[in-house]
Structure 1
Amino acid sequence: MKSKIYNFFVIAVASALCSCGGDVLPKPKGMLRLAYPTPKYEKASLDCSYTFEKNNIANFKKAKNNKECWYNIDYPKLNATIYVSYYNVDKNLDSLLRDAQNLTQEHHIKADGIDQKDFILREKKVYGSIFEVTGNAASSCQFYVTDSLNHFVSGSVYFKVKPNYDSILPAAKYLRNDVVHFMETIQWEEER
């Protein structure tokens, strides 16, 4: 019995000594690589007084609140949605602008920062702002556009996960580019 234990001990020590050769090197830091398809845009089909182009990887559907011309642009692969709201301007532009800016400021508590960029396309009568929210806020990007006379469209990007800015950053940047494209391609149609 002692010889079996001794043999086992000798084999275990020999194996340990043989397997520990070479220098010990730390493992390199691994980074998750998220790749998204190059966007291909198509005109969104809607019966409203505005049109725009959306990314073809997104599902486009009317919002469940039954408000006219409110839509959800859903990105199943990114686990995110852009919520789009439409309002008629009727001597209430100041109120609509204040509401859109206040909605963004509600994220200030969790945000590390909010970067606002004005957006103007005079030839198309498109004026607005885009707000990029950094940090663990619920919405990573918000925007509004208006012709300042008849139409006002606002939108917000939300992920269907607990906010962790470092994790959603690649997807947030991808969706921010889609929001900018939305703003660049919006067109106001004549009143019906």
Structure 2
Amino acid sequence: MKNFILMLAVFLVVISCTNNTLPKPKPYLKLQYPEASYTTFNSKCPYNFEYSKGAVISIKENCWASIKYPKLKATIHITYREINNNLDEILKEVEKLTYEHTIKADAIPNALPYENFNKHVYAKLYNVEGNVASNIQFMATDSVKNVLAGSLYFYTKPNYDSILPAVKYIEKDLIHLIETLEWK
């Protein structure tokens, strides 16, 4: 019996010392973005809004703005237009720019509308799904004098699956920008 136990122990040691290679599971990158905090953008332009403290804003003489996210390598380009009895023309132009992405887009779901009657802010936010140059477009107006339009661009080759977390993060900032927009 002693010999049997000794043989069994040797056998178990020999079997347990094999180098079986097991496949490792694919690792997934976990992106963590900072908590959103905002600051007010005040200028000589006919509008004010709040933007992310993690972004850098620059303004041109014609009240066009760029909100840059250096860590995400992204920029929101904002254009300002004054209405001169041409609101329909301006809104069609903005919508045309959005729907030019349909060539590459997988989908452009219905626009997310926003209305604030007290502040006279009426806006739409478009999500453009797929490998497109600009995944978010928006426009806001007071329907009398002012129109703001904006587009989000990344400084990278469009790969929707890869940039989607950053798109969703910046989308929250854009919604906040629209909700805090005020006309002067």
TM-score, normalised relative to structure 1? 0.84
Matched, 1:75 2:72: no
Q: Distance in 2 between matches of 1:62 and 1:133?
A: 26
Change (3 A) 1:79 1:24: same
Pick aligned residue for 2:28 from 27, 31, 47 = 31
Correspondent of 1:85 among 57, 79, 92? 79
More displaced, 115-124 or 86-95? 115-124
Map of 1:110 onto structure 2: 104
Counterpart in the other structure of 2:59: 62
Report the AA paired with residue 78 of structure 1: L
Tell me the distance in 1 between the aligned counterparts of 2:80 and 2:140: 10
Of 140, 146, 166, which aligns to 2:141?
Answer: 146
TM norm structure 2: 0.87
Aligned equivalent of 2:155: 160
Identity across aligned pairs (percent)? 44
d(CA) in 2 for partners of 1:36, 1:73: 17
The reply on whether 1:172 has 2:167 as its aligned counterpart is yes
Counterpart for residue 8 of structure 1: none
For structure 1, the 5+ residue unaligned runs are 1-16
SS of alignment partner, residue 58 of structure 2? strand
1:13-54 per-residue CA deviation (whole Å, 9 max, x = no partner) reads xxxx99972654321121111111011100013211110000
The range that moved more, 118-127 or 18-27, is 18-27
- State the Cα RMSD in Å: 1.7
Separation in 2 of the partners of 1:19 and 1:135? Answer: 50
Secondary structure of 2:162 counterpart: helix
In the alignment of these two chains, the number of paired residues is 170
Q: Distance in 2 between matches of 1:160 and 1:23?
A: 44
2:37 to 28, 36, 40: 40
Letter in 2 for 1:107: H
Q: In the alignment, residue 111 of structure 1 is paired with which amino acid?
A: A
Q: Which runs of 5+ in 2 are unaligned?
A: 1-13
Q: Which portions of structure 1, spanning 4 or more consecutive aligned residues, are displaced by more than 3 angstroms?
A: 17-20
